[in-house]
A and B are shown apart, each in its own frame.
Chain A
Amino acid sequence: NAGVTQTPKFQVLKTGQSMTLQCAQDMNHNSMYWYRQDPGMGLRLIYYSASEGTTDKGEVPNGYNVSRLNKREFSLRLESAAPSQTSVYFCASSEHVATNEKLFFGSGTQLSVL
């Protein structure tokens, strides 16, 4: 039982390049999330998907797109990377039931945009 798996773990891009960060969970969770974390900061929500087939903007969605490919997979795309998008990206999932919002996180993708 792997939990939440993110790929790649590290990536270096040049300004203007595009890439997709992949995330998959094997816990049959309904909800999935993408966060970014900058040095010395907390996590900020980029996009989330409450259930398969739905996506919504979080706190910092500009410059990103997402796809909830199926219940297991939720990808994050940078169409034209900018240095301001240098960050560590975390994917998370939750069962989303009325009694708790217990999130399970992946190990992160460290992205550098030059």
Chain B
Amino acid sequence: DAKTTQPPSMDCAEGRAANLPCNHSTISGNEYVYWYRQIHSQGPQYIIHGLKNNETNEMASLIITEDRKSSTLILPHATLRDTAVYYCIVRVDGGGGADGLTFGKGTHLIIQP
């Protein structure tokens, strides 16, 4: 699986859009981009994933660049409850076994009141 690079921490004002970047310059054509978050002392929570098209669900939007070497997770109206560590993961879907996901250190997003 391709390696990802994320900033260690970011701040965002409550009510504003939080934009979390992720670089995955070695991504392969069949690798998906996944985003999870981990609120303090809880297990990680799935947010969204995508291959090359932009994706949106009730939690967030995922914007993947045309060359797929980077992506941005957007929380449109951040609240204090969105303070968490956000993990960007690249993974081949269905590719060779259910051996889970590789979590790096992620980005600690702090929403400021």
List residues of B whose CB falls within 8 A of some A CB: 32, 34, 36, 41-46, 49, 87, 91, 93-94, 97-106
| Contacts A50-B97, A101-B98; A41 near B105 (Cβ below 8 A) | yes
Q: Does B42 lie within 8 Å of A107, measured CB to CB?
A: yes
The interface residues of chain B, by DSSP majority, are classed as: loop
Contact of B100 among A4, A33, A104, A108 (CB under 8 A): A33
A side interface size, CB within 8 A? 33
| Contacts A40-B105, A42-B104, A94-B98; A102 near B49 (Cβ below 8 A) | yes
Among A56, A100, A104: residue with most chain B CB under 10 A? A100
> Which residues of A lie under 8 Å from residue B99 when comparing CB positions?
45, 48, 50, 56, 58
Task: Report the Cα distance A104→B109, complex, angstroms.
Answer: 21
Q: Does B46 lie within 8 Å of A104, measured CB to CB?
A: yes
List residues of A whose CB falls within 8 A of some B CB: 4, 30-31, 33, 35, 40-45, 48, 50-51, 56, 58-59, 90, 92, 94, 96-108
